[in-house]
Amino acid sequence: MMDNVLQTKLPMPYLASGKEAPSDIVPEGIIHWGVVSHLWVLEMESDDGPVYAPCVVFFDDTWSKIGPVSSLEAARQTCHRWAAIHDSTVRDMARPRRQIMSQAEATVDIEPSELDADLPGDPWSYDERIDRFRLNLVALGINIANDVLGEDRSLAQLVDALGPALTHIESIFRACGVIQPHYVAPWLARVREAAVFWLTEMDAVDALETDEDLGRSMADEVRRGNVTLNEALSRLADDILDYYKYQAAQEARKESPASRARTAMKAGADRLTYFATDVLVRQAMGGLE
């Protein structure tokens, strides 16, 4: 039995875009998970009401179905199961998103010409009812949040990094003769609330790649070589050993290179075995789910 498993040909992860995908449900083994943005619960209409499809979304903003169209709960379960297996995230378009604040709270009666300096980004909303632009505090908060994204910092550090922009905005508000002084503090509080909300929504913490992540990534790269499980495990071991030997010579880490290599190898081997087992199960079941 073990020989059969080791000689199993692993699926090649070639699918990097929904443009290349088969029209039917896409097997997870052929997906290039390195270019997957997220998993997505898509709401669709049918004669019997709304139905839902679990989908994978690629970095080119194309998508493919990864499971049958069914109930909302079933689609969510599929997406979250695959997200856990493939270290991805889920965006649930069927789940209502919390509104930051009402439109009345977000917009205030200040025009661009009334300020002595430019605010970050383009935080102006056009109001057709009064034929004029108004300051959108939510847009302003999102603008300053986007300015601090992209750094390798924790969410708390990103929130702290909003400080200089908020101070700059406060100085612009206080220098404006149209804005009453007692409005400045509550308006700044709304700008900060919107910025923090956006940082949290964008999952702004860019976590460092762990040894487990590296092992799984290397395993997927090895699978691109059209190999058996046995061949893949051998190549994975060589790649991981070469990598951590090089890392040991380049940087000093508290944890030993050998321990880190074992951690990466276990994660990578588990991933390769997962796909080999999936192939054998599909063969035994004749393609039935």
Checking if the pLDDT of 101 tops 90, the result is no
Q: What is the structure's pLDDT at 206?
A: 45
Q: Which two tokens stand for residue 181?
A: 């002084």
DSSP single-letter state for residue 121:
S
Q: What is the mean pLDDT of residues 243-264?
A: 81
Q: What is the structure's pLDDT at 275?
A: 93
pLDDT tens digits for range 6-39: 899 999 999 998 888 887 899 999 999 988 888 9
The 3-state DSSP class for residue 207 equals coil
Q: What is the structure's pLDDT at 59?
A: 82
Q: What is the structure's pLDDT at 208?
A: 47
Helix axes 211-223, 229-250, angle to 10 degrees: 140
Mean pLDDT of the chain: 86
The answer to whether the beta carbons of residues 19 and 61 sit under 8 Å apart is no
Helix (H) or strand (E) holding 253: none
Return d(Cα 265, Cα 69) in angstroms, integer: 36
Checking if the pLDDT of 1 tops 80, the result is no
Specify burial of residue 213 (Cβ count, 10 A radius: 0-12, 13-18, 19+): middle
Q: What is the mean pLDDT of residues 102-121?
A: 89
Q: What is the mean pLDDT of residues 215-234?
A: 93
Return d(Cα 143, Cα 205) in angstroms, integer: 17
Specify burial of residue 126 (Cβ count, 10 A radius: 0-12, 13-18, 19+): exposed
Q: What is the structure's pLDDT at 172?
A: 95
Q: What is the mean pLDDT of residues 153-174?
A: 92
Q: Per-residue confidence at 250, pLDDT binned at 50, 70, 90?
A: low
